[in-house]
């Protein structure tokens, strides 16, 4: 099992020759900026005009370090709203805490930085970042490394798609099909959708089937394979869950699966590129992010 540290700095004695990058680092922008914000909550970094930059600074450091680690092109994806799921299910993601004002102010800043650096980013009114990342996995050749802690993205894991998942000990696990199987009792990544459909997801306010829970969902999917194949009667070892599917249980499970399954059929035009280092340095100078300029100079 390969592990890498999330906050390792990259330092080298000399600049290496640029190499052609055919692999991709697909960054869940909202997820990473949130992680960077809370990891540096005690750092009062600001631009000369008072704009907070702590999350932006760590976001860039992590993105550049991972690019070096995997030798990839960077593409970033943001949520623009709650998209089609909110229309289908008005309660979708209700109950979440409000985004802190100091974090909210840094979203337009990171987009300005990405634009200056020539790093492509995508967002969409109907689709969330997760959907767009899935679409990118289908549109791009080469290996795709997804940087996110969002469990929904685990459904995208395959031989050419790895999800980089951060653990609480500040170590990252590279979630490959094999690693997923080890951690999820020999299930395949696509079955994470079925698990969530039965167990629900409090972070997205998706109810699933009341009374099943994660352990029950795992047992049920281990037996039936997917939500659509659930049928009565249940075998003895999971018999106690059968009554949960009376009345609306099956209907709730299928609806939850509709909400959880990513829409990945949007074609995205993404080309290989080189970061505009002069543009990135210029915007970092404007924002007084000297540590990032130093990183770029030794990159």
Question: Residue 167 maps to which CATH number?
Answer: 3.40.50.1010
> Based on the structure, what is the number of domains in the chain?
2
228 and 139, same structural domain? no
Report DSSP letters for 224-246, one per residue.
Answer: HSSGGG--SSPPGGGGGGGGGGT
201 and 118, same structural domain? no
Question: Residue 212 maps to which CATH number?
Answer: 1.10.150.20
Q: What is the pLDDT of residue 19?
A: 62
Question: In a structure prediction context, what are the per-residue pLDDT tens digits for the chain, which is 299 residues long?
Answer: 333 333 344 333 334 445 678 999 999 999 999 999 999 989 889 999 999 999 999 999 999 999 999 999 999 999 998 889 999 999 999 988 899 999 999 999 999 999 999 999 999 999 999 999 999 999 999 999 999 999 999 999 999 999 999 988 788 999 999 999 999 999 999 999 999 999 999 999 999 999 999 999 999 999 999 999 999 999 999 999 999 998 789 999 999 999 999 999 999 999 889 999 999 999 999 999 999 999 888 76
125 and 209, same structural domain? no
Report DSSP letters for 176-200, one per residue.
Answer: -HHHHHHHTTT--GGGHHHHHHHH-
105 and 138, same structural domain? yes
Q: What is the pLDDT of residue 81?
A: 83
127 and 47, same structural domain? yes
Cα–Cα separations (whole angstroms), residue 281 to 45, 216, 225, 287, 293: 17, 52, 51, 10, 6
Residue numbers of the domain that contains 10: 3-183+269-297
This prediction's pTM:
0.91
């Amino acid at each position: 099992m390969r592990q890498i540290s999330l906050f390792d700095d990259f330092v080298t004695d000399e600049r290496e020759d640029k190499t052609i990058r055919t692999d991709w680092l697909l960054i869940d922008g909202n997820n990473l900026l949130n992680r960077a914000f809370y990891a540096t909550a005690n750092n009062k970094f600001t631009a000369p005009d008072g704009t907070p930059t702590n999350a932006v600074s760590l976001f860039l450091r992590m993105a550049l370090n991972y690019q070096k680690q995997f030798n990839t092109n960077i593409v970033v994806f943001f949520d623009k709203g709650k998209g089609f799921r909110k229309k289908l299910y008005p309660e979708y993601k209700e109950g979440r805490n409000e985004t802190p004002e100091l974090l909210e102010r840094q979203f337009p800043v990171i987009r300005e930085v990405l634009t200056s650096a020539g790093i492509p980013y995508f967002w969409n009114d109907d689709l969330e970042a997760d959907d767009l990342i899935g679409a990118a996995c289908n549109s791009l050749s080469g290996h795709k490394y997804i940087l996110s802690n969002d469990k929904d993205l685990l459904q995208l894991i395959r031989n050419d798609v790895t999800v980089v998942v951060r653990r609480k000990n500040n170590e990252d696990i590279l979630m490959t099909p094999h690693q997923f199987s080890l951690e999820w009792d020999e299930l395949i990544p696509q079955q994470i959708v079925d698990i969530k459909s039965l167990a629900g997801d409090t972070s997205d306010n998706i109810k699933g089937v009341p009374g099943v829970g994660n352990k029950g969902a795992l047992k049920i999917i281990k037996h039936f394979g997917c939500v659509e194949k659930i049928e009565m009667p249940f075998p003895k070892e999971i018999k106690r869950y059968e009554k949960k599917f009376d009345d609306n249980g099956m209907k709730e499970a299928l609806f939850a699966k509709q909400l959880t399954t990513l829409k990945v059929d949007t074609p995205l035009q993404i080309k290989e590129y080189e970061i505009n280092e002069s543009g990135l340095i210029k915007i970092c100078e404007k924002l007084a992010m000297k540590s990032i300029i130093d990183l770029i100079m030794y990159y």
